[in-house]
Amino acid sequence: MKRRGSGPESPPASYRAPLWSRLDDVDRAEAVSWALERQLCGVGGRLEVAPRDLDEAVSLVALSWDARVAARLRRFAEVESGATVWTRDGEGLFYVGELVGPWRYDPRRTAYEVDLAHVRPCRWSAGSVEPPPTVLASFGRGGRNFQRIHP
């Protein structure tokens, strides 16, 4: 029987974080650049009124968007700190980051404009990096959702 605290720890999970709005009129490259510059990882689902906490945010997103977007928000907020996240900029270059803090709602106008108001602090790489094949495959499938990358 394996004792708690002994043996190798499993590595933190990896996630695809496109940082793209579900709204077609939001500039994708601008949103990614905004998040990288501010050392944030985020998901869409902007709201007209800033929520007090995550439960209220999830409820408001369900009303303003739909239940699926609300469920994605909750999953994003509940990902463990230390998880690895990957994104791709407007030129197709990849960046890797580490989630280093909890969810919060960013009420600033700029966060609303890029539709990344649901954010977490993220320590992004200083420059682009070569992603492993699993990351390439995940981004190759397309989509705008924050989701786990499975080996």
| pLDDT over 80 at 2, yes or no | no
Q: What is the pLDDT of residue 9?
A: 66
* CA distances in angstroms from 99 to 24, 25, 67, 95, listed in the order given: 26, 27, 25, 13
Q: What is the pLDDT confidence band of residue 12, given thresholds at 50, 70 and 90?
A: confident
Residues 82-103, mean pLDDT to the nearest whole number: 97
d(CA 48, CA 62): 13
Q: Which residue has the higher pLDDT, 11 or 94?
A: 94
CB count in 10 Å sphere of residue 109: 7
Q: What is the pLDDT of residue 54?
A: 98
Residue 43 CA, chain-centre distance (Å), reads 5
Q: What is the pLDDT confidence band of residue 144, given thresholds at 50, 70 and 90?
A: confident
Q: Per-residue b/e over 50-83, b at no fewer than 16 CB within 10 Å?
A: ebeebeebbebbbeebeeebbebbeebbebeeeb
- Does the pTM exceed 0.95? no
d(CA 48, CA 27): 20
Query: Which residues, in sequence order, are bridge partners of residue 147?
Result: 16
Residues 105-118, mean pLDDT to the nearest whole number: 96
Q: What is the pLDDT of residue 21?
A: 87
d(CA 85, CA 51): 25
Q: Which residue has the higher pLDDT, 2 or 130?
A: 130
| pLDDT over 90 at 17, yes or no | yes
The whole-chain average pLDDT of the chain stands at 92
* The token pair that represents 45 in the structure block: 């689902």
Q: Which of these, 58, 31, 33, 52, lies nearest to 113 by C-alpha position?
A: 31
Residue at 7: amino acid letter: G
Residues 97-102, mean pLDDT to the nearest whole number: 98
- How does pLDDT run across 22-78, given as a tens digit for each residue? 898 999 999 999 999 999 999 999 999 999 999 999 999 999 999 999 999 999 999
User: What is the set of domains in the chain, with CATH numbers?
Assistant: 14-149 (3.10.590)
Q: What is the pLDDT of residue 1?
A: 36
